Copies of this chain bind each other. A is one copy, B any other.
Amino acid sequence: MNRRDFVSGVLVSGGLSPLLALAGAEASQARPATPPPAKILLFDTFGTVVDWRSSVAAEGERIGRAKGVTGVDWAAFADAWRAGYGPSMNRVRRGELPWTKLDVLHRMVLDQLLVTFKIDGWSEAEKVDFNRVWHRLNPWPDAVEGLTRLKSRFIIAPLSNGNLSLLTEMGKHAKLPWDTIMSTELVKHYKPDRETYLMAADFFDVQPSDLMMVAAHEGDLDAAKALGLKTAFVYRPNEYGPARVPKRVPPGKFDYNTLDFKELATQLGV
């Protein structure tokens, strides 16, 4: 993909200067059949494809009710669980822990939270099962239709810190039509380490510019962009609940800027 294709991408996304628009128009006249802007679309999952917060809270409610637990704010529990994920990954990065699957990090955080939230009397089997709620997250309403359309033209895969079994079982649960699973477990690094973004280029013998990172989080896209990947922002206003609605990213910062996967599919011409 060359500079002109990139310009076409910006054009479609709506964020463009008059000069770039002119360059884009020239490019499309010169080459009627525009090559696709990437070969492989890589999706952040937690928050981008699936709604972790409401999924975890709903399972907590259900299990809590069955166990007679009262007075727990399960949405707050979900937020705290998710918030524990960054610091626990950093323990791996700093070498305090060897390479550790996300499932195991999730369990370490869960064990702390059961104390913090004063929940006791759960059996080991119940803890194991609840920890696997991260394998059973529900998709955003547009995800399956959008991915199915995108799959018709691109290789689609999650690129996530979820371990391979987590992402595989999440895909099965949520009926996500992945072509393959790019868990960062395969390179024993966590995003945003560079090894994670470049893994698909190695596996598929393509350039970083043949990859497009799709995410609801600017940091993820910034890291991908710095390594030469294409980028698509998807706005997920409900990820963190009503009290913490994120801002939309300004147009033009990333190659594509969309409200959901169906809009991304339309912008990518499928």
Contacts and interface: CB of A to CB of B under 8 A. Distances in A.
A168 B180 contact: yes
A186 interface: yes
A67 interface: no
Given A164-B203, A186-B186, A169 B181 contact: no
Interface string A129-169: 00000000000000000000000000100000001110111
A26 interface: no
A172 B179 CA distance: 7
> In the complex this chain forms, how many copies of it are found?
2
Contacts of A169: 155
B172 A168 contact: no
Given A163-B203, A186-B186, A155 B179 contact: no
A117 interface: no
Interface residues of A, number: 19
Contacts of A186: 186
Interface string A203-239: 1110000000000000000000000000000000000
A155 B163 CA distance: 15
Contacts of A178: 180
A179 B181 CA distance: 8
A196 B203 CA distance: 18
Interface in A17-70: none
A171 interface: yes
Contacts of A103: 205
A227 to B, nearest CB: 19
A14 B204 CA distance: 43
Nearest to A199: B164
Contacts of A168: 155, 179-180, 204
Nearest to A157: B168
A165 B155 CA distance: 10
A185 B168 CA distance: 18
Contacts of A155: 168-169, 172
A180 B181 contact: yes
A158 to B, nearest CB: 10
A180 B164 contact: yes
Given A165-B204, A178-B180, 5 more contacts: A155-B172, A163-B203, A165-B203, A167-B180, A186-B186
